[in-house]
Structure 1
Amino acid sequence: MEQNEELMTSTEAALHEYKMGLGMFTQKMPDIATHYNAFTEACFKEGNLSKKEKHLIALGIAINTQDEYCIIYHAKGCLDNEASEEEILEAVGVTAAFGGGAAMSQAVTLVQECIQELNQLKQ
């Protein structure tokens, strides 16, 4: 672990780990990474749904599939696109209605931790 990683919050460390992994994958498989990144960028462009709404949807899917890296990434996407904590938690509630206890457990732990840590980084 790099020295500066020791000072990171768990959310920052996970985002850093994801970016490092994606960077290594991109070096090894540039064609796939380029096309995948272009596809996801197109999916999250402002359209009939706002970027905020798209990240709220993605957060719900990530919670339901128990994908911790995507939960963190899209919680950050929600906040970066000015979703309020209430909007995020309302989306979490809808997800829990479909995903039950497993979705709720991610919401009451990881999602709330992300909101707290990412909001502290903005200050």
Structure 2
Amino acid sequence: MGQNQSQDNQQDSVIQMALQDYKEGLGQFLQKMPEIAGKFNEFTEVCFKEGKLSKKEKQLIALGISIFSQDEYCIIYHTKGCIDEGCSEEEILEALGVTAAFGGGAAMSQAVTLVQEAISELGSSDKQMKH
């Protein structure tokens, strides 16, 4: 196995581990604080429902906000959300450009690193990226 393949596998596992950590953390919070977690889950489900904006558009917005706020778990989670809603890599990158125009270098650094890693792994593992 070449060094690039080994680095790709290590990055892939970091992305998957982050998603798993987030899911486990939410599960633990739900067990410990069911009323709060339940209300939060209900609220977010309503926010991400199809409406005047599509689910796809809402995921792109959430990804941009996640990048601007430098929230790495949400960056990965909403990159996956974009992929799951059928966003192409080009659509995601265009949204990242808008985020970088607003958020500057910090937003661009997340766009060219963490989001690209997540697109690479999640797009190939889910086979749902549209080119």
Q: Place the TM-score, normalised by the shorter chain, in its bin.
A: over 0.9
- Which of residues 19, 23, 30 in structure 2 aligns to 1:19? 23
TM-superposed CA distance for 1:32, in Å, is 0.3
Alignment partner, residue 86 of structure 1: 90
Alignment partner, residue 116 of structure 1: 120
Report the secondary structure of 1:9's partner residue.
helix
Q: Distance in 2 between matches of 1:24 and 1:96?
A: 34
1:95 aligns with 2:123: no
1:76 aligns with 2:80: yes
TM-superposed CA distance for 1:102, in Å, is 0.2
TM-score, normalized by length of structure 1? Answer: 0.92
TM-score, normalized by length of structure 2? Answer: 0.87
Q: Distance in 1 between matches of 2:107 and 2:123?
A: 22
Report the secondary structure of 2:51's partner residue.
coil
Q: Which runs of 5+ in 1 are unaligned?
A: 1-5
Alignment partner, residue 4 of structure 2: none
Matched AA of 1:49: L
Matched AA of 1:91: A
Residue-by-residue CA offset, 1:17-50 (whole Å, 9 max, x unaligned):
0000111111000000000000000000001100
TM-superposed CA distance for 1:9, in Å, is 1.9
Q: Which runs of 5+ in 2 are unaligned?
A: 1-9
1:35 aligns with 2:43: no
TM-superposed CA distance for 1:94, in Å, is 0.1
Identity score, percent: 69
**CA RMSD between the two structures:** 1.2
Deviating runs (4+, > 4 A) in structure 1? none
